[in-house]
């Protein structure tokens, strides 16, 4: 799966909203559990009493809601606005709602929060994540407190006590950042082939890739070979296309990453994006997840400490498949019923318990379909096509799997054979995929 990357700007009709401010009711710190899916962080958010799930994204300015998942939320002080951002088209309509009560976790609260509501149902990306996702929260989550994201424990800690924070930060490596347009930027050394080039990059929690680079903004840029033309995701204004490849290395101070996967959007995909001066691209979550990260917007710093995933290889979905969850379906599970009836023989003596019984229990399980199959990839060569329904992987029913587990199958080593059961037009097809990385790094 190629998780969509949403990058956008706002153009408002009317005045700017009142400045939001999250406050911690706990005098020391608050801890928020999160879900980690495809390198991305999803947090529980309650808006005006409704429990929702939002993507945490340092690459966005405002709080965006694009799906209610059949839940009811009463929004305050609503007016119409327009958005524009990364993608092919220009504007989409939406709503702006002010003075909402937003709680994240038990102790992190804003009573005057502004929410921007997208009316275009196609923006919803829950089907590509495997859980209901209602929106995105960005700058206002980070702006007032040091915030630690621990990818290993899947917990966020928001500090409200200087002594506790100072003790914590001693084990981290500190880097300066700038906050421009309410988004964090840092300098990194990008080595496309052999020369290190200092580059200003957005620190982008909402980007599941390792690195994004903008070729038109980098002097003498040359695409490494091999590279592929690929669908990079969906922005608020349409699909984003470009190339994927690997660069030689990325350096964050003393931390070096060899041959990271790199996405490079085509020029037209960023033509409507107002970039800050000298920006060359983004650092995504496939880099950030290798650390415990502390964002400190008030002091304009980011703090990094390596975790157990630091040396993980940069894996690519070699199958070419883009899988999405396509609703739920009823499936029957074989359930064992324990019986404890003691039987006796003709002489009245007890004999062993009667045999255990079974019955079918019908349960709702997720249904997965093929959203896309990259041309000339292993899935394309094997004959898989868009809208095929995925039944099993390696003889294991996908209804018992998460989206994360399904995609992990397609990121295994070159030459690995994956056995798929596909349904198409009420026919079952058995297909063997042989994984092959189309963009291995070559000097």
Give me the DSSP letters along 75-114: -SSEEEEEEEESSSS-EEEEEEEEEEEEEETTTEEEEEEE
| pLDDT the model gives residue 356 | 58
From 244, 191, 242, 223, select the one nearest 438 (Cα to Cα).
244
**Matching CATH number, 8-164, of 1.10.3720.10, 3.10.520.10, 2.40.70.10, 3.10.20.30:** 2.40.70.10
As a whole-number percent, the residues of the chain with pLDDT over 90 amount to 60
| pLDDT the model gives residue 9 | 37
Spell out the CATH class of 169-306.
Answer: mainly beta
- For residues 255, 220, 205 and 367, what is the CA-based torsion angle, rounded to 10 degrees? -120
Q: Report whether 92 contacts 237 (CB < 8 A).
A: yes
Given a cut of 80, whether residue 197 has pLDDT beyond it is yes
Given a cut of 50, whether residue 416 has pLDDT beyond it is yes
| pLDDT the model gives residue 91 | 64
* pLDDT band at residue 338 under the 50/70/90 scheme: low
* CATH number for the domain whose boundaries are 321-330+365-434: 2.30.42.10
| pLDDT the model gives residue 231 | 83
| pLDDT the model gives residue 346 | 61
Ranges of each domain in the chain? 8-164, 169-306, 321-330+365-434
- The mean of the pLDDT values for the chain is 86
Given a cut of 60, whether residue 340 has pLDDT beyond it is no
Tens digit of each residue's pLDDT (9 = 90 or more) over 349-385: 655 555 556 666 666 678 999 998 998 999 999 999 9
Query: Looking at residues 212-234, what average pLDDT do you find?
Result: 88
Both tokens of residue 349?
């003596």
Tens digit of each residue's pLDDT (9 = 90 or more) over 132-182: 899 999 999 999 999 999 999 999 999 999 999 999 999 999 999 999 999
From 169, 196, 170, 332, select the one nearest 252 (Cα to Cα).
196
**Predicted TM-score (pTM) of this structure:** 0.86
Query: Looking at residues 253-265, what average pLDDT do you find?
Result: 96
Both tokens of residue 145?
């407190």
Same fold: 8-164 with 169-306? yes
Given a cut of 80, whether residue 129 has pLDDT beyond it is yes
Both tokens of residue 27?
């005098």
Helix%, strand%, coil% for the chain, nearest 5: 10, 50, 40
* pLDDT band at residue 14 under the 50/70/90 scheme: very low
Give the 3-state secondary structure of residue 166: helix
- Specify the residue for token string 């800050």: 276
């Amino acid at each position: 799966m190629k998780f969509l990357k949403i990058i956008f700007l706002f153009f408002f009709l009317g005045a700017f909203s009142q400045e939001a401010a999250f406050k911690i009711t706990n005098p020391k710190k608050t801890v928020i559990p999160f879900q980690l899916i495809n390198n991305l962080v999803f947090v529980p958010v309650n808006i005006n009493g409704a429990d929702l799930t939002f993507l945490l994204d340092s690459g966005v300015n405002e709080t965006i809601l694009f799906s209610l998942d059949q839940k009811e939320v009463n929004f305050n002080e609503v007016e119409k606005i327009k958005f524009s951002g990364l993608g092919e088209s220009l504007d989409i309509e939406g709503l702006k709602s002010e003075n909402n009560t937003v709680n994240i976790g038990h102790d992190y609260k804003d009573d005057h929060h502004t929410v921007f509501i997208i009316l275009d149902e196609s923006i919803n990306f829950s089907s590509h994540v495997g859980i209901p996702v209602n929106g995105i929260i960005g700058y206002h989550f980070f702006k007032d407190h040091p915030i630690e994201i621990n990818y290993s424990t899947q917990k966020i800690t928001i500090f409200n006590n200087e002594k506790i924070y100072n003790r914590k930060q001693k084990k981290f490596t500190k880097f300066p950042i700038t906050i421009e347009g309410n988004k964090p930027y840092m300098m990194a050394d990008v080595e496309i082939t052999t020369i290190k080039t200092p580059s200003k990059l957005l620190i982008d929690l909402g980007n599941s890739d390792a690195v994004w680079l903008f070729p038109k903004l980098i002097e003498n840029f040359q695409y490494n070979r091999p590279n592929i033309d690929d669908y990079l995701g969906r922005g608020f204004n349409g699909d984003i296309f470009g190339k994927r490849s690997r660069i030689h290395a990325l350096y964050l101070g003393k931390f070096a990453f060899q041959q990271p996967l790199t996405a490079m959007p085509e020029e037209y995909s960023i033509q409507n994006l107002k970039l800050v001066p000298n920006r060359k691209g983004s650092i995504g979550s496939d880099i950030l997840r290798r650390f415990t990260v502390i964002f400190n917007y008030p002091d304009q710093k980011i703090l990094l400490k390596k975790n157990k995933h630091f040396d993980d290889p940069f894996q690519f979905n070699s199958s070419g498949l883009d899988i999405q969850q396509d609703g739920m379906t009823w499936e029957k599970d074989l359930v064992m019923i324990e019986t404890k009836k003691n039987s006796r023989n003709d002489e009245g003596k007890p004999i062993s318990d009667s045999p255990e019984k079974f019955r079918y229990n019908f349960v709702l399980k997720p249904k997965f379909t093929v959203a896309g199959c990259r041309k000339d990839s292993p899935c394309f060569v094997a004959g898989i096509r868009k809208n095929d329904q995925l039944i099993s992987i390696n003889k294991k029913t996908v209804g018992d799997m998460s989206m994360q587990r399904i995609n992990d199958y397609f990121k295994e080593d070159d030459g690995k054979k994956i056995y798929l059961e596909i349904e198409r037009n009420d026919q079952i097809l058995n297909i063997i995929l042989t994984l092959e990385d189309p963009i291995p790094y070559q000097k």
